[in-house]
């Protein structure tokens, strides 16, 4: 068991366009860490299992219409309603691998034309990730992979705008990984970055808040 008492878990976020491989890489990372004896959980935003999550899910399925600002705030509220549980888990030593977070929130809404600073404001005070892994794939390549479902946003033209918005959000704490490489190679690169991060957090790195 690799767990040191009193050491906290790491908050690791995967971001990228639809079909960039976030979900399958998340599960590979989960298995890897679990195999080493770490406490780990996989989370996904939006969390569709809450009351707010049901509203989001219905909006994404085109079963309901909402003003762009209103849906943005619901996505944010969906993170806020999980914030205290997130902090409890991290402080008790569990590493969280989170598939999409505030960066998806800002990238998707600003791709619709909302002001980027307005989009960031409701995220201020949420826990800041210790590591953001961006799975980089050109929108055309992502579309070629097929498997876009019928949900809102799953269209090439819109994904191009999202890719552009993500670029405005990159900061030096992001690790950009070429998601066009073979899955095993992507996994290898991610694993190294994650192990570094998990170690830094165990060694006492403080939790911080967005946006910093
Ligand atoms: P999934 O296909 O990964 O379930 O995402 N989205 C997501 C937003 O617009 N704002 C957010 O804050 C988040 C977390 C991205 C469903 C879609 O919801 C978008 C794709």
DSSP one-letter code for 67:
-
Contact 69, 126 (CB under 8 A): no
- Ligand 1 contact via 153 beta carbon (within 6 Å): yes
Pick the atom of ligand 1 nearest to 105's CA.
Answer: 12
Judged by DSSP in three states, 12 sits in: strand
Average pLDDT over every residue of 97-120: 98
For the stretch 52-108, pLDDT in tens is: 999 999 999 999 999 999 999 999 999 999 999 999 999 999 999 999 999 999 999
Q: Which of 46, 81, 83, 105 to mutate to test the pocket of ligand 1 (most atoms within 8 A of CB)?
A: 46
2 Cα–ligand 1 center, Å: 33
204 Cα–ligand 1 center, Å: 32
37 Cα–ligand 1 center, Å: 31
Cα–Cα–Cα angle for 43, 48, 53, nearest 5°? 120
- Ligand 1 contact via 38 beta carbon (within 6 Å): no
Domain spans in the chain, listed from the N-terminal domain onward: 11-202
For the stretch 125-166, pLDDT in tens is: 999 999 999 999 999 999 999 878 889 999 999 999 999 999
182 Cα–ligand 1 center, Å: 25
105 Cα–ligand 1 center, Å: 7
Determine the Cα–Cα distance for residues 12 and 203; give it in Å rounded to an integer.
16
Contact 30, 42 (CB under 8 A): yes
* Domain 11-202: CATH superfamily, name plus number: P-loop containing nucleotide triphosphate hydrolases (3.40.50.300)
């Amino acid at each position: 068991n690799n767990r040191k008492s009193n050491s906290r878990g790491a908050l690791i976020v995967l971001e990228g366009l639809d079909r960039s491989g976030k979900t399958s890489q998340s599960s590979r990372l989960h298995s890897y860490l679990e195999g080493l004896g770490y406490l780990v959980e996989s989370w996904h935003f939006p969390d569709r299992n809450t009351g707010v999550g049901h509203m989001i899910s219905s909006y994404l399925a085109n079963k309901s219409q909402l003003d762009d600002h209103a849906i943005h705030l619901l996505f944010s509220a969906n993170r806020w309603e999980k914030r205290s549980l997130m902090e409890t888990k991290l402080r008790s030593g569990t590493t969280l691998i989170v598939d999409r977070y505030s960066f998806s929130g800002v990238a998707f809404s600003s791709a619709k034309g909302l002001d980027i600073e307005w989009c960031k404001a409701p995220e201020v005070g949420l826990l800041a990730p210790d590591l953001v892994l961006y799975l980089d794939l050109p929108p055309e390549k992502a579309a070629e992979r097929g498997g876009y479902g019928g949900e809102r946003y799953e269209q090439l033209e819109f994904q191009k705008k999202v890719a552009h918005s993500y670029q405005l959000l990159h900061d030096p704490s992001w690790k950009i990984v070429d998601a066009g490489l073979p899955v095993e190679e992507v996994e290898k690169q991610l694993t190294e970055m994650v192990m570094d991060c998990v170690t830094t957090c165990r060694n006492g790195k403080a939790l911080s808040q967005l946006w910093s």
